[in-house]
Structure 1
């Protein structure tokens, strides 16, 4: 009963998919963590070290708080992820494969947990804790010819269930538009980072949006219960979930949330169902080692205890979204888009080299890699890559001022210094690496152009100015206004 004899292919596919996402996540950390949360980042690493007890958010960077340590950890993670992606433990002799696999996945989990716990606001996303939780379970899957413990298959399905069912409940309890079936009228336009298909999805008929909202409720509230059903029902539920996540990937940029959910859905299949639709077959497997079975059962007991608070949260009328209840992110609660914004606001950051601000001053916009600034620019496809600064700017634009976003004035200061690491986070620096004399931030309301407007102007967006987010400031002025972090 406890041996997943029919899950060797499932484990192999799950591990390869998870390794690929780890590889991407560590590449993002290598490229973005230092300018965002490093020694001199927008939210400096010192802020984490001094502000949070290590027992509450354990991280290697609590003990080694330096950019050098960050770089070593990130690129080590890239290298280990590549080994996992290549399936190196499977190359080892029997008896060594599973211990090597456990050590490899444990190292990946510990390294990435360090980034998540020290990354502060820039790592405060549900897919971060989900990657940590999933990565911890991967430690106990085994490798080589041995069969994976069936209980770990069930634990991965439990993560998938909480991910989907939590998202469904937070919607029903949240915005009225999920109940009157109108949320999708706004979603494609107001989501954090639209992609090239989002404009077209937005302009689909209203009837389609009603049907897809009903479909969303079915897929998130009813289908998850079938994950634990016998085959082929479990596989059909997994296939429906994969199709749903694929649609979300086609119509938006949600980092690796959808890709990770697809990976989590792989254990809803069995080797038999995979072999029935794919030209593959599983090799003969050896029994699961007793030590791995024992560890898997102990793991299940720990998960059962730690699941009490997430389950209470799911059942609560005051359900929290994307919350961790333990410092190791072992069992978390998830959810997405409990409320939908009706209007899209954007903060456009501009600079000038004029020595004095006048009515004739020409302001040049900084362009970001994902978020819309230029109305003529086609929305890009960036997912599953994660543009962390762009995402936080989406949240920041919801407020009429940066008061709730203490990193924003520091970001302006970095632009006034022409900080190379910060500028590397952008798509275009209008000053070619030279510091401007002043910068400002202007708040706009953006909306998609209609098909007629786009045919005439070629623009994807129409916008109107709704206010000043930060008035023109010099480096000296922004340093005075910069909040104490």
Structure 2
């Protein structure tokens, strides 16, 4: 017998609480980082988005109000609404108010976050941004209160989870040879964007274990997703396998809320019967959803099916592109991760000095929050919180010199030369509160120390300098070279 929405009342409740946690992290990140990155005086100023973008192509509240006060109000409103959603606010209301209140709450969260994604440009160009928006839009139609969710929305969540996982599996098997010869995880833990405290230990696991890991990766991403649509208990088994896989990724790396959000999506593979069998709760009696919600859910399904054509064709194409949206509202997207694995880890280290004619010993490094700088510092845990500047520094380090997409880095250097408080807030430490006299960026190759090296030195990393990414310069030289846009203030 086919399941009905009555089988997913508890599933809906758990899913909504999990999604609220993800939204809470997303808006906290926006509240703390958006203004120094992409606000009025950010590294990529908000006015540039408002002047050059098309609202139809990149809709955002900040298109009409490119103002830091509006940014702050929007971010903290999102934080407050996320807390309301986490505490199941709509469920406190009497019928028939719970359902419209829930829809308005989730629609507001989706719309507010859409503004940050579409105005944040390169700092918001990650697959988990569009994934959160797509998941959040489906959540609008799950309902709340005494009525059960429309079952078609549960199936749309499974379809989203399928594209998330299967797309990641396809991009790997088509991409780097190391996914086919089972050697990618020999390098991944060391070269991933932001290692965490467990990454050093995972890197040093036996090679045979790494081979089994890659095989398991292919099974979970290429075979298991088809079981999401199977009857119970097979769908639950597939969901448990997916959650276990994502938990390992959470345990060994910092991938923002990508893994946590995938875990939330995987809740849709469960049923109330499964949850009541493992937890001391009983599924409440539920009525059928109102006709209006049922009709909206069916229209949503038609829309998603129609908009899934291009993402599905892309996913099946030998020239598959990962993490791409095909519509300005990020309603139905294509996903994928780590189609290629870097073999060497390059790092950018920003250094400043107060000396007019500095020697090598006169330079002092700025510490990053997530990227390694000091070799004796253990990699930190940040996920599901997202350090946007640190991720961009990882991408930039892949190039031997800055390109057009790294204009933000030159703006960062100029801001640090000025002692800008916003730019300094993005870093873990700033040895020059009023700005250094000169600044430079060096490029290093980092690797994890061996167990023997770590036992002898206590270091987590070993590094060697491979070049100068940005030559030493003062504020005046940066301005004269036409590299910065700010007014020099001495």
What is the TM-score of this pair, normalised by structure 1?
0.98
- What residue in structure 1 maps to residue 435 of structure 2? 435
Residues 1:2 and 1:53: Cα distance change in structure 2 (over 3 Å): farther
1:31-46 alignment to 2 at 5 Å? 31-46=32-47
Classify the secondary structure of the residue corresponding to 2:362.
coil
Query: 1:121: which partner in 2?
Result: 122
Displacement of 1:292 in angstroms is 0.5
Give the Cα separation in 1 of the matches to 2:159 and 2:179: 25
Aligned 8 A contact 2:411 2:485 in 1: no
Q: Deviations 1:15-61 (Å, cap 9, x if unpaired)? A: 00001110110000000000000011111112211222110010000
- Which residue matches 2:334? 333
How far does residue 448 in structure 1 lie from its aligned partner after superposition? Answer: 0.4
Q: Any conservation in 2 of the 1:237–1:268 contact (CA below 8 Å)?
A: yes
Q: Indicate the residue corresponding to 1:215 in structure 2.
A: 216
Q: Which runs of 4+ in 1 moved over 6 A?
A: none
Q: Secondary structure at the match of 2:5?
A: coil
Asked if structure 1 preserves the Cα contact closer than 8 Å seen for 2:478 and 2:484, the reply is: no
Q: Contact 2:28–2:75 at 8 Å: present in 1 too?
A: yes
What residue in structure 1 maps to residue 178 of structure 2? 177
How far apart are residue 195 of structure 1 and its match? 0.4
User: In the superposition, relative to structure 1, how do residues 239 and 456 fare at CA in structure 2: closer, same or farther (>3 Å)?
Assistant: same
Give the Cα–Cα distance (whole angstroms) in 2 for the partners of residues 340 and 443 of structure 1: 19
Distance in 2 (alpha carbons) for counterparts of 1:107 and 1:353: 48
Q: Distance in 1 between matches of 2:477 and 2:234?
A: 63
Deviations 1:50-82 (A, max 9, x none): 222110010000011110110010000001111
Q: Give CA deviations for 1:457-481 in whole Å, capped at 9, x if unaligned.
A: 0000000000000010111222334
Quick one: distance in 2 between partners of 1:321 and 1:476?
A: 42
In the alignment, structure 1 residue 444 sits paired with structure 2 residue 444: yes
Query: Equivalent residue for 1:426?
Result: 427
Trace 1:227-376 onto structure 2 (pairs within 5 A): 227-357=228-358, 359=359, 362-376=362-376
Measure, in 2, the Cα distance between the counterparts of 1:88 and 1:259. 22
Q: What do the CA deviations read for 1:126-167 (whole angstroms, capped 9, x no partner)?
A: 000000000000000000111000000000111100000000
Matched with 1:15 is 16
Residues 148 and 288 of structure 1 are in contact (CA less than 8 Å); yes or no, is this contact kept in structure 2? Answer: yes
| Shift, 1:380, TM fit | 0.3
What's the CA shift string for 1:214-260, capped at 9, x where partnerless?
00000000000000000000000000000000000000000000000
C-alpha displacement of 1:356: 2.5
User: 5 Å matches for 1:80-95?
Assistant: 80-95=81-96
How well do the aligned residues superpose, as a CA RMSD in angstroms? 1.2
Deviation at 1:360, TM superposition (A): 5.4
SS of match in other structure, 2:428 = strand
**Gaps spanning 5+ residues in structure 1: where?**
none
| 2: CA distance, partners of 1:447 / 1:354 | 31
Alignment of 1:159-174 (within 5 A): 159-174=160-175
Number of aligned residue pairs: give it.
483
Are 1:401 and 2:406 counterparts?
A: no
Instruction: Tell me the distance in 1 between the aligned counterparts of 2:299 and 2:120.
Output: 30
CA distance in 2, matches of 1:484, 1:349: 19
Distance 1:2 1:246, change over 3 A: closer
Given that 1:3 and 1:288 are in contact with CA atoms closer than 8 Å, whether structure 2 keeps it comes out as: no
The Cα offsets for residues 260-302 of structure 1, whole Å up to 9 and x where unpaired, read as: 0000000100000111112211111111111111000000000
Task: Determine the C-alpha separation between the residues in 1 that align with 2:477 and 2:227.
Answer: 59
Which stretch shifts more, 451-460 or 420-429?
Answer: 420-429
**CA distance, structure 2, for counterparts of residue 322 and residue 128 of structure 1:** 9
Quick check: 1:409–1:481 contact (8 Å CA) kept in 2?
no
1:294-350 CA deviation, whole Å, 9 max, x = no partner?
A: 000000000011000000100111100100000000000000000000000000000
> What secondary structure is seen at the aligned counterpart in 1 of 2:187?
helix
Please say if 1:390 is aligned against 2:364: no
